[in-house]
Amino acid sequence: MAFLFGLVQVILAAKNKSANFYFGIVSVVLYIYVFYTYGLFAESLLNAYYLLISIGGIYFWQASKLKDISTIQIRDWVMLSICMLIVWIVLYVILKMCTPSTVPAFDAFVSAAAWIGSWLLMKRKLENWIFLNISNVVAIPLQLYKGLSLTALLTMIYFIVAIKGYIDWKRRMEN
């Protein structure tokens, strides 16, 4: 079920539809449990964050706070990259010291990149797709390693949809 709701969510996000957040809520609630059960603690926490982002996304997208897709500036790239690095390090330390995680560096990296990408999605920033795919590239082998084949398949689909989403959003911005 988490897979199916997640698939619908990312397709709707690529189509720039606010309904993506409702499907995302169901998917992330289910994935909080799945990832925790498989020892991917940062990804479980990431899905709790996605829950908050989904609620925020509903507000921003439907309250017409952000009608248009926009891009981030160079200084934003720098700040977001620094934030991602800090989140990665903090999550890694927490996972290493406080959990039995067998993959703390990879788990933390996937979550750090996805946190930034999700924040940008909520803000309708084109670059959300880039950060989300940075996360996806690392998440796929990690999920396969942990035996989450169906989730890895979903993440591969996310990767493809993110490429299409980037192209479609960029095209919308130019029109």
Query: Mapping DSSP to helix (H, G, I), strand (E, B) and coil, where does residue 54 land?
Result: helix
For residue 97, pLDDT over 70 is answered with yes
Q: How far apart are CA 116 and CA 108, in angstroms?
A: 13
User: Residue 123 carries which DSSP code?
Assistant: T
98-148, pLDDT tens digit by residue?
999 999 999 999 999 999 998 998 888 999 999 999 999 999 999 999 999
Query: Mapping DSSP to helix (H, G, I), strand (E, B) and coil, where does residue 70 land?
Result: strand
Q: Are 42 and 111 within 8 A, CB to CB?
A: yes
The pTM is what? 0.85
Nearest to 9 by CA among 44, 63, 47, 60: 47
Tokens representing 73 are: 């500036």
Map out the domains of the chain as residue ranges: 2-174
